[in-house]
């Protein structure tokens, strides 16, 4: 203790002396004192200043080596003692290599400067940049970002250091970077790329064999694209064949950031820099911000409906919700970060492909096989080319745009097994991690195949070019869109050759925050490719063989089969077959409820009748193409409603709503949502046991089972179907009913999904739509434990025998919603009772909960039940990313509590800042199952004698695609943990409801206590003997024995 106290005393003394001398130097360097120094005898002033500086240096070296909080970390002497090592290597532009060498010498962490640590391990990525564990603090961005965002009065999305403020600012931009928004913006990007690609051949010929500098040209086209996307107009670099002045200024700005980042670490040097180098630290920043302000002013004054990166921000600035200065700062960082990083990756891809002829040949073959003409190339199809994606990922690995690392400030935490004191600057060296042989075999070699090899030992998560966690790059999807499109167009149109064969591009380049790229001289020669008619002829020939070879074909042949199917469909349905880049195609392909499922097919057929579907099935079968059928597109399972490569059959043209003579049966087309059905039948005073939410599609809901408000008296929604019109795998159209030749098919379609045929019409029982009461209440459960306790007490009472769950005239949707990043924890009930009672006794325990509410519509008695779902029409958005995951258990208070606690415990510290999750307790009562059995039964096959169960639904909602892995991992982990704990108590139920299931879950396994599956497999063989639907039709969930 005594030694420790003495050390602390010495440490404090040395530090205070050094700070005192630094203060004196600061005082000397104030402008008024510098003016006085000029008037003093030069030698006296020089001597005083020199003595002070030397004194500080000696004390600082002693302090840094022996008493600094980071003194125990290894590193080169000059890095531990001073800033000299850092200054020398960063100003030389090769610090990424120097840092890599030091990691090879000192291990996973070393001191770059006295208060700065570089980490070189995979684990450090998540520790520094990932979501903090529960109760832990964020590692916020360091002072470096104040320099990065200087020139503006507010931080931008890249420079804002406060996590809460950053989250708000990111929300203002997120919608413009969503897949839907990017699809709307794609034509702008493609137009810029086309102008660029068109110039490559003529410029090569004009250069007389010298080639063109792709480092320059790819910077210019990226800059033009960012100008279009951020300001509504390009900079004309490609058209004028020259850099814009702002582009040159940006490169200078990056060098300036490096200089000032070094100077700011020593106060008196920062002051000296401001006095001696105003041209460097002020002029460049002011000129850069001046360009931004002028362009933003133009953008705000422009009258345009065109979608771009700032569309939402413009409206918010006009309304006063966002300051103009904030928009200007955002635009500035989009230009710097978006243009330079994307250009760097594309130049790297071109250079390394040219240095690796086998990879170039393989990529060119993939692109030229996929497309029959240049005009076919678009982002969605390019993004589906596996080897192209591997090339991009490898270029990002071998030459990461942010090679130096992204600095963060430690709050006092452990990073990869090392305790890092509070205030230390830390980062992961991207170059070191991606070039470590422990992570990547032969790391200096360009090997795109490593990203396709499932058996590789390479640690792919070591490459994080877009960072990760809540500060991950918002423009990731846009960057991939631009890079995939650009490389596809270049390699489809040209053969290319490296002029300077001996170039070592990385060694010749320099990194100042981002890369100063050495010239890459390339010559381009236009290639001769087959005319479109010849390729079409070949594809039609392939279509005849497609069904024979498809199962063993590589991706290129699968694509060819899809193109052949599209061609055949186009001949039969010239006005109903939509190809990419047309308005109808975009409308149909994007009509998916969840952005997680947005997959772009090769073409879309909008069927208008059962005959259309039958013809399409025959043509697709002949071509051997994969395909998907989309009804309402509400299932949030990627690959369930669309496919790539392949054909989407849209059922939106099958939208009939007719009643039989006595109005007891409604014939409903599968291509509509339930609001279409309800809007039609309400005029007759009728109802059907349909969707609770009107945005849900008819087809998927009914073939998946269906939970409804009337389930306690009418069973599952599929139990109300009395006939199916269905197209079989052989293209025949049949009608399946409970009796007759297709009685077994009728049973299979009641919950068996789309494994047996494509339903083109549902005949559903109607009933009088009497009055009903509805009320929705949401309580703020974060206000105190009493609110949530009261809610779960009420829920336990409702689920208990004799409680509301046994009342056939009431229904409830109890939900817990949690969004830690938004400080939201709510408990919610949607209450429905049939009749005119404005205060049903079944809900009394809920309505008397004493706590703050965030929503209470007060309750209302509607004249007709059908008005209830119509009132919910505004509650569903198609602009977010979503998951569903199903887990079931008995209605025991312990199980109910486990579900709530598990979701909350696993969400804290894991969910992205703007994400939300919910758990919905859906009671499947004994009365419900009895009614289902009385209606003839179904595939789900739950036994009423087992009593009530809770079909739990875990739902998640978020915006940023970069958060997909985190959200899906949360869903899997939460489901597994609830299953584990309820099993231990004997409360688990194996039922997994298909319409609420998540990717990888197996709903059919437990249907009918395991008895349904063997029968379904037998019927699959009967109705799909050649396995066409089994192998070619997208299902979402397979029948697995």
Residues making up the annotated binding site are 473
Do β-strands 212-213 and 521-526 pair in parallel, antiparallel, or remain unpaired? antiparallel
Q: Cα 517 to chain center, whole Å?
A: 30
CB atoms within 10 A of CB 10: 14
Which DSSP letter does residue 855 get? E
Tokens representing 96 are 């990424």
Do β-strands 767-768 and 686-687 pair in parallel, antiparallel, or remain unpaired? antiparallel
What does each C-alpha distance from 99 to 120, 263, 407, 443, 859 come to in angstroms? 9, 20, 14, 16, 65
Max CA pair span of the chain = 114
Measuring CA to CA, which residue among 467, 873, 830 is closest to residue 674? Answer: 873
Contact assessment for residue 205 and residue 284, using Cβ atoms and an 8 Å cutoff: no
Rounded CA-CA distance 807/907 in Å is 34
Rounded CA-CA distance 954/975 in Å is 8
Which DSSP letter does residue 106 get? H
Please report, in range form, the residues annotated as the binding site for heme: 473
DSSP bridge partners of 723:
763
Rounded CA-CA distance 625/1007 in Å is 31
DSSP bridge partners of 522:
212, 498
Rounded CA-CA distance 881/879 in Å is 7
Rounded CA-CA distance 218/350 in Å is 10
Contact assessment for residue 137 and residue 103, using Cβ atoms and an 8 Å cutoff: no
Rounded CA-CA distance 1038/1002 in Å is 8
**SS in 3 state form for 959-1022?**
CCHHHHHHHHHHHHHHHHHHHHHHHHCCCEECCCCHHHCCCCCCHHHHHHHHCHHHHHHHHHHH
Contact assessment for residue 954 and residue 917, using Cβ atoms and an 8 Å cutoff: yes
Rounded CA-CA distance 8/14 in Å is 10
Residue 84's contacts (CB-CB under 8 Å, 6 or more residues apart) are 78
CB atoms within 10 A of CB 293: 17
SS3 179: helix
Beta strand residue intervals within 188-244, DSSP E: 212-213
Q: Cα 793 to chain center, whole Å?
A: 38
Cα-atom radius of gyration of the chain, to the nearest Å? 32
Residue 978's contacts (CB-CB under 8 Å, 6 or more residues apart) are 887, 889, 898, 899, 902, 952
Residue 226's contacts (CB-CB under 8 Å, 6 or more residues apart) are 334, 335, 338, 339
Rounded CA-CA distance 353/136 in Å is 44
Beta strand residue intervals within 368-493, DSSP E: 408-409, 413-415, 418-420, 425-428
Q: Please, is 153 exposed, middle or buried when counting C-beta atoms within 10 Å of its C-beta (0-12, 13-18, 19+)?
A: exposed
SS3 47: helix
Tokens representing 128 are 């520094």
Q: Please, is 741 exposed, middle or buried when counting C-beta atoms within 10 Å of its C-beta (0-12, 13-18, 19+)?
A: exposed
SS3 686: strand
Rounded CA-CA distance 193/377 in Å is 11
């Amino acid at each position: 203790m005594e030694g420790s106290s003495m050390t602390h005393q010495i440490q404090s003394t040395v530090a205070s002396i050094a700070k005192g001398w630094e203060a004196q130097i600061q005082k000397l360097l104030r402008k008024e004192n510098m003016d006085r120094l000029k008037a003093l005898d030069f030698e006296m002033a020089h001597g005083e200043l020199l003595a002070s500086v030397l004194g500080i240096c000696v004390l600082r070296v002693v302090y840094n080596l022996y008493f600094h909080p980071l003194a125990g970390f290894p590193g080169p002497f000059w890095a531990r003692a001073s800033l000299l090592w850092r200054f020398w290597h960063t100003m030389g532009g090769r610090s990424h290599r120097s840092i890599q060498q030091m990691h090879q010498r000192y291990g996973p962490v070393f001191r770059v400067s006295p208060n700065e640590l570089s980490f070189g391990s995979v684990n450090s990525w998540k520790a520094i940049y990932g979501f903090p564990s529960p109760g832990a603090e964020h590692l916020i961005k360091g002072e470096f970002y104040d320099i990065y965002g200087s020139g503006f009065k507010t931080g931008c999305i890249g420079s804002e250091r406060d996590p809460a403020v950053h989250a708000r600012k990111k929300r203002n931009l997120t919608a413009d970077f969503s897949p839907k928004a990017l699809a709307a913006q794609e034509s702008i990007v493609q137009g810029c790329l086309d102008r660029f690609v068109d110039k490559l051949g003529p410029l090569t010929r004009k250069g007389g064999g010298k080639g063109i500098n792709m480092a320059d040209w790819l910077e210019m086209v990226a800059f033009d694209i960012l100008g279009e996307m951020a300001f509504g107009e390009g900079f004309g670099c490609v058209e004028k064949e020259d850099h814009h002045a702002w582009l040159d200024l940006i490169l200078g700005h990056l060098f300036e950031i490096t200089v000032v980042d070094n100077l700011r670490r020593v106060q008196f040097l920062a002051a000296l820099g401001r006095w001696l180098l105003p041209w460097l630290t002020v002029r460049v920043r002011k000129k850069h911000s001046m360009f931004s302000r002028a362009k933003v002013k133009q953008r705000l004054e422009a009258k345009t409906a065109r979608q771009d990166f700032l569309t939402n921000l413009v409206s918010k600035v006009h309304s006063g919700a966002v300051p103009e200065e904030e928009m200007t700062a955002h635009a500035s960082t989009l230009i710097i970060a978006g243009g330079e990083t994307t250009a760097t990756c594309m130049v790297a891809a071109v250079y390394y492909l040219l240095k690796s002829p086998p990879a170039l040949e393989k990529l060119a073959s993939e692109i030229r096989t996929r497309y029959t003409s240049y005009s076919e190339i678009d982002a969605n199809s390019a993004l589906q080319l596996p080897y192209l994606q591997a090339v991009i990922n490898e270029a990002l690995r071998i030459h990461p745009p942010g090679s130096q690392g992204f600095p963060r400030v430690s709050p006092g935490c452990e990073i990869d097994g090392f305790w890092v004191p509070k205030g230390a600057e830390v980062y992961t060296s991207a170059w070191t991690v991606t070039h470590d042989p422990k992570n990547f075999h032969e790391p200096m070699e360009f090997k795109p195949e490593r990203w396709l090899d499932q058996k590789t030992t390479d640690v792919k998560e070591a490459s994080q070019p877009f960072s990760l966690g809540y500060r991950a790059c918002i423009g990731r999807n846009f960057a991939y869109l631009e890079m995939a499109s650009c490389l596809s167009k270049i390699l489809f149109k040209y053969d290319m050759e490296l002029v300077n064969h001996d170039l070592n591009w990385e060694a010749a380049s320099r990194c100042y925050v981002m890369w100063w790229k050495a010239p890459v001289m390339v010559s381009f020669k236009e290639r001769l490719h087959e005319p479109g008619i010849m390729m079409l002829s070949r594809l039609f020939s392939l279509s005849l063989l497609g069904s024979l070879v498809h199962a063993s074909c590589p991706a290129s042949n699968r694509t060819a089969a899809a193109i052949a199917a599209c061609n055949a469909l186009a001949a039969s349905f010239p006005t109903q077959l939509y190809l990419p880049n047309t308005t109808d195609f975009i409308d149909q392909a994007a009509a998916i409820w969840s952005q997680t499922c947005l997959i772009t097919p090769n073409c879309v057929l909008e069927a208008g009748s059962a005959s259309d579907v039958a013809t399409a099935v025959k043509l697709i079968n002949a071509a051997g193409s994969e395909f998907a059928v989309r009804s309402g597109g509400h299932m949030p399972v990627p690959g369930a409603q669309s496919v790539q490569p392949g054909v989407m059959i849209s059922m939106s043209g099958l939208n009939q709503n007719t009643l039989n003579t006595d109005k007891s049966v409604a014939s409903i087309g599968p291509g509509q949502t339930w609001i279409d059905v309800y809007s039609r039948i309400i005029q007759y005073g009728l109802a059907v046991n349909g969707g609770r939410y009107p945005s849900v599609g008819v087809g998927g809901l009914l073939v998946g089972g269906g939970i409804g408000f009337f389930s306690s008296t009418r069973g599952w929604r599929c139990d109300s179907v009395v006939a199916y019109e269905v197209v079989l795998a052989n293209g025949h159209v049949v009608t399946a009913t409970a009796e007759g030749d297709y009685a077994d098919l009728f049973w299979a379609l009641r919950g068996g999904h789309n494994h047996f045929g494509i339903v083109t019409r549902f005949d559903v029982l109607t009933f009088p739509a009497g009055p009903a009461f509805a009320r929705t209440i949401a309580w703020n459960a974060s206000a105190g434990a009493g609110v949530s306790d009261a809610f779960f007490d009420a829920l336990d009472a409702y689920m208990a025998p004799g409680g509301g769950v046994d009342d056939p005239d009431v229904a409830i949707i109890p939900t817990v919603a949690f969004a830690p990043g938004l400080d939201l924890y709510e408990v919610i009930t949607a209450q429905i009772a049939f009749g005119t009672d404005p205060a049903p006794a079944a809900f009394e325990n809920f309505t008397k909960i004493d706590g703050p509410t965030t929503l209470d519509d007060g309750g209302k008695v509607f004249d007709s039940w059908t008005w209830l779902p119509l009132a919910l029409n505004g509650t569903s958005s198609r602009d977010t990313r979503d998951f569903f995951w199903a887990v079931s258990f008995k209605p025991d208070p312990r199980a109910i509590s486990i579900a709530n606690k598990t979701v909350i415990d696993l969400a804290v510290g894991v969910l992205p800042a703007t994400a939300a999750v919910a758990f919905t307790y859906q009671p499947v009562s004994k009365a419900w199952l009895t009614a289902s059995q009385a209606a003839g039964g179904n595939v789900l096959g739950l036994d009423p004698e087992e009593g009530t169960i809770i079909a739990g639904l875990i739902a998640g909602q978020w915006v940023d695609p970069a958060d997909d892995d985190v959200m899906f991992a949360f869903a899997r982990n939460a489901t597994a943990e609830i299953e584990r704990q309820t099993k231990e108590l004997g409360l688990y139920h194996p039922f997994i409801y298909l319409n609420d299931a998540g990717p990888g879950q197996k709903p059919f396994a437990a249907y009918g206590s395991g008895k349904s599956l063997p029968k379904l497999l037998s019927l699959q063989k009967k109705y799909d003997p050649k396995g066409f639907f089994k192998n070619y039709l997208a299902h979402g969930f397979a029948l697995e024995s």
